[in-house]
């Protein structure tokens, strides 16, 4: 017993200070893309051609990226001869609508706003989610699971993952929704009591990701159920997921770190 207490004291406090302090991100972290259309040369579409998911559009004088399709692979950054694209260290990526994920050069990302009215009153202090892996590779699933560890301690914000959809307030979906998971996802959604919400985490769950257009996938969660929060990335960092959840619950302001 004394040895256990000694080890616990030696370990100290392991839970991150976020959101009271800025997140500690790895050196190789790739965050919100930064686009500079003024550097683009007429007729150059190197970034567009390099993108494996067709997330980038580079018509003359314009530059835009669909964050819902983006894999954050940096192929576009390496292909651009003029340095018109780069990745910032901004982890804030979640939006309330699919259209808001279309980021254009010279424009800022419209970050997720809080739930409205009655939904916020019911779910703002306590949110139970059933996680559904709809054909994912386990990348997004792993970063969702780590939120329940002592490092992030998701429960301190009133958010908890539950085993049954009947005990849940909503679904957190990962994966491109394969044909084999289509009916299972629909049944799981129907089992959640109303009012309910849906959160799509990762490029696959938003657009189909690298499997976009494949006949065995349905192109993301929104093709099957209505989605209330989109968290892009491949996979999104745990801080990105946490930031989106806290914004949805109204626990973060627009200027939060």
Residue 13 has pLDDT above 80, yes or no: no
Let me know if residue 100 belongs to a domain.
no
CB 214 within 8 A of CB 193: no
Kindly report the CATH number assigned to the domain that includes residue 186. Answer: 3.40.50.12280
pLDDT given at position 11? 67
Residue 10 has pLDDT above 80, yes or no: no
**Helix and strand tally (H, E) in the chain?**
8, 10
Average pLDDT over residues 204-222: 95
Residue 60 has pLDDT above 80, yes or no: no
For residues 21 and 13, give the distance between their C-alpha atoms in angstroms, rounded to a whole number.
15
Let me know if residue 207 belongs to a domain.
yes
Q: In whole angstroms, how far apart are CA 176 and each of 152, 215, 250?
A: 26, 11, 28
pLDDT digits (tens, 9 = 90+) for 32-42: 999 999 999 88
CB 211 within 8 A of CB 217: yes
Task: Tally Cβ neighbours within 10 Å of residue 145.
Answer: 13
Let me know if residue 55 belongs to a domain.
no
- The pTM assigned to this predicted structure is 0.93
Residue 99 has pLDDT above 60, yes or no: yes
Residue 23 has pLDDT above 80, yes or no: yes
Let me know if residue 74 belongs to a domain.
no
CB 253 within 8 A of CB 204: no
Let me know if residue 21 belongs to a domain.
no
217: left (phi over 0), alpha (psi -120 to 50) or beta: beta
Let me know if residue 29 belongs to a domain.
no
Percent of the chain whose pLDDT exceeds 90: 86
Domain around 151: 117-248
- The two beta strands, 229-231 and 33-35, are unpaired
152: confidence class by pLDDT, cuts 50, 70, 90: very high
DSSP summary character for residue 162: -
Residue 92 has pLDDT above 90, yes or no: yes
What is the average pLDDT score of the chain?
93
3-12, 26-35, 129-138: the lowest-pLDDT one: 3-12
4: confidence class by pLDDT, cuts 50, 70, 90: confident
Let me know if residue 13 belongs to a domain.
no
pLDDT given at position 257? 63
Residue 171 has pLDDT above 60, yes or no: yes
Residue 255 has pLDDT above 60, yes or no: no
Let me know if residue 177 belongs to a domain.
yes
Give how many domains the chain has, as a whole number: 1
């Amino acid at each position: 017993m004394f040895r256990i207490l000694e080890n616990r004291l030696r370990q100290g406090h392991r839970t991150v200070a976020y959101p009271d302090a800025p997140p500690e991100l790895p050196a190789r972290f790739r965050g919100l893309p930064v686009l500079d259309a003024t550097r683009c040369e007429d007729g150059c579409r190197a970034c567009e051609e390099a993108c494996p998911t067709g997330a980038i559009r580079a018509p003359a004088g314009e530059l835009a990226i669909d964050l819902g399709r983006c894999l954050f692979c940096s192929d576009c950054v390496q292909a651009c001869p003029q340095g018109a694209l780069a990745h910032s260290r901004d982890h804030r990526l979640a939006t309330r609508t699919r259209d808001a994920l279309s980021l254009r050069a010279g424009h800022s990302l419209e970050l997720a706003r809080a739930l409205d009215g009655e939904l916020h009153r019911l779910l703002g202090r306590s949110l139970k989610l059933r996680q559904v892996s709809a054909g994912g590779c386990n990348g997004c699933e792993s970063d969702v699971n780590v939120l329940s560890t002592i490092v992030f301690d998701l429960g301190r914000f009133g958010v908890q993952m539950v085993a049954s959809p009947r005990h849940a307030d909503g679904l957190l979906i990962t994966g491109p929704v394969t044909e084999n998971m289509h009916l299972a996802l629909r049944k799981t959604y129907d089992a959640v009591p109303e009012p309910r919400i849906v959160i799509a985490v990762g490029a696959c769950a938003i657009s189909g990701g690298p499997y976009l257009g494949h006949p065995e996938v349905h192109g993301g969660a929104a093709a099957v159920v209505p989605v209330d929060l989109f968290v892009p990335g491949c996979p999104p960092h745990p801080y990105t997921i946490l930031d989106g959840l806290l914004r949805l619950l109204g626990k973060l302001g627009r200027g939060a770190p």
